Chains A and B, each alone.
Chain A
């Protein structure tokens, strides 16, 4: 059984009309279906507005889905009551892009990491303090950092603090939503390395949401490509990057800059008439799905 099984997930936003404009319905997430096996690093890529972040938020019920099911270890979280969702959030966590805005500037780092234990009433005060120090070391910071405030840290260190908080309660499943996008490339490589290490050490499963295809290519075993709310292609990263089946995936991959100044630029333009947006996602090759 997959640890996460998302079926026909849909999120509609109603854009309110004005005096001269009718209300319109925007399908931010449209009939999204995928499953993640335990221990996977599953990539979800797309450009801005593709619905990748909304998909992540619907899975954690940070945004209410309009339809579909999200099975976490077989339990549908979509109809679950708020109290059950809170309990489930011990097992399902998220790391956001912007460590600046997701850390309370008035709290010391030790308190920030300890907060999940307090919220979920885990351990005695002494236990919690010890665990905070363990977590700091686990993410490559040191014990002395617990007494400091977020503004005293660099972007990469702040992201490490965010990671420590996300893994504090030993979750099984973590969503990294553009978690390294705002970092300088050398810092980004270090934080990505940390995520890969933590995945192995703590037996985590990741949904890695990113717009940078190069990152996904490096660390994700499987990947799904979203375009305008739909998954247009999904498969093993190696096979999807080597032989993309959907026109949008081909366009996206052709736009990624190469580090070779002599590389032939074979930039493809997307012809929206070259594919049918309503085509079903079907398994074209074993494990490789596309809407064609």
Chain B
């Protein structure tokens, strides 16, 4: 039984000439402690699919058909009050820009404590847990960092704080939407290593949404490629990266810059650097 089972999901937005299908008959499964990479370009529907799982769709969006089972419950039928408890406690979200997720006028420690007390932890225990969590995301000198405001932290540290908040209630599923896209490559490497580590330590399943096949290669067990709301191809990471079947997947892979991996790829992107 998968942890998350998405079946024939279709989500539409109103458009000038009738509804637009942002997600179109999408099905995928995610097992406990597995990482599924959801890849696609802007507008492919990958983020909308994730927001549907979290029940955080904007009001204009409509789930036309399909179903989502998470921990054997029908997500689309859960009452909103209960869904609020499930979000954060059982499934949580990390996204690209931590500055928009963190409250700028609240100390980061208090924000983690809040995440814990909202879900029923007592204040004292929450305080101690918050320090542990900052420590777990490898923020040095965690106890004194609790008192910092988000603007006092670097981009990489803010991303770690957001990860700490996402982890606070020990969810079984983390949905990470372009978690490292805004980061420098050395910081990206650190955050990805941290995510791998935490995943193993806390037995997390990870739904990783990205447009970067490099991040996929580093993180994912399986990959689902989306285009125009539909699933184009899905399979184990090695198969998708080495022997993609669908033409669109091949073209996406061919567009990834960099030459050192061209040996393992059949369709490297050829610009002629010879005379530059």
Contact = CB atoms under 8 A, between A and B. Distances in A.
Interface of A: 39-41, 47-48, 155, 184-189, 192-193, 196, 199-200, 206, 211-215, 217-221, 237, 241, 251-252, 254-263, 265, 267, 270
Interface of B: 41-42, 155, 184-189, 192-193, 211-215, 217-218, 220, 237-238, 241, 251-261, 264-265, 269, 271-273, 275-276
Contacts of A220: 273, 276
A71 B253 CA distance: 41
B237 A186 contact: no
20 contacts: A47-B184, A47-B186, A47-B187, A48-B184, A155-B42, A185-B255, A187-B41, A188-B255, A189-B257, A213-B185, A217-B257, A218-B259, A221-B275, A237-B273, A256-B214, A257-B212, A258-B218, A259-B214, A262-B238, A263-B217
Contacts of A254: 189
A86 to B, nearest CB: 29
Contact of A260 (B41, B259, B261): B261
Contacts of B218: 257-258, 261, 265
A254 B256 CA distance: 17
A219 B271 contact: yes
Given A217-B259, A257-B212, A257-B215, A185 B41 contact: yes
B186 A185 contact: no
A184 B184 contact: no
A187 to B, nearest CB: 8
A216 B269 CA distance: 13
Given A41-B276, A257-B188, A258-B217, 10 more contacts: A48-B184, A155-B42, A185-B211, A189-B254, A192-B271, A212-B257, A217-B260, A218-B259, A221-B276, A267-B189
A211 B271 contact: no
Nearest to A180: B257
Given A41-B276, A214-B258, A218-B257, A261 B237 contact: yes
B271 A184 contact: no
Q: 5 closest Cβ contacts across the A-B interface?
A: A214-B258, A257-B214, A41-B276, A255-B189, A189-B255
B271 A259 contact: no
A258 to B, nearest CB: 6
B41 A241 contact: no
Nearest to A242: B260
Contact of B276 (A184, A199, A215, A263): A199
Contacts of B253: 259
A217 B257 CA distance: 8
- Counting chain A CB atoms within 10 Å of each CB, the highest count among B189, B212, B241 belongs to B189
A187 B254 CA distance: 12
Given A189-B257, A213-B185, A218-B258, A257 B269 contact: no
A212 B103 CA distance: 31
A184 B258 CA distance: 15
- Counting chain B CB atoms within 10 Å of each CB, the highest count among A213, A218, A237, A259 belongs to A259
A185 B217 contact: no
Contacts of A267: 189, 193
B275 A200 contact: yes
A157 B42 CA distance: 15
A218 B269 contact: yes
Contacts of B41: 184-187
A246 to B, nearest CB: 14
Contacts of B255: 185-186, 188-189
- Counting chain B CB atoms within 10 Å of each CB, the highest count among A41, A237, A241, A255 belongs to A255
B262 to A, nearest CB: 9
A186 B252 contact: yes
Given A193-B271, A211-B184, A217 B258 contact: yes
- Counting chain A CB atoms within 10 Å of each CB, the highest count among B186, B211, B214 belongs to B186
- Counting chain A CB atoms within 10 Å of each CB, the highest count among B193, B213, B271 belongs to B271
Contacts of B186: 47, 251-252, 255, 270
A155 B41 CA distance: 12
Given A189-B255, A217-B258, A259 B264 contact: yes
Contacts of A237: 273
Nearest to A49: B184
A248 to B, nearest CB: 9
Nearest to B155: A48
A133 to B, nearest CB: 27
Contacts of A270: 186
Contact of A219 (B214, B215, B273): B273
Nearest to A258: B261
A184 B257 contact: no
Contacts of A255: 185-186, 188-189
B187 to A, nearest CB: 8
A185 B216 CA distance: 14
Given A47-B186, A260-B264, A267-B189, A214 B256 contact: yes
A99 to B, nearest CB: 14
A192 B227 CA distance: 22
B68 to A, nearest CB: 27
B104 to A, nearest CB: 19
A236 B237 CA distance: 34
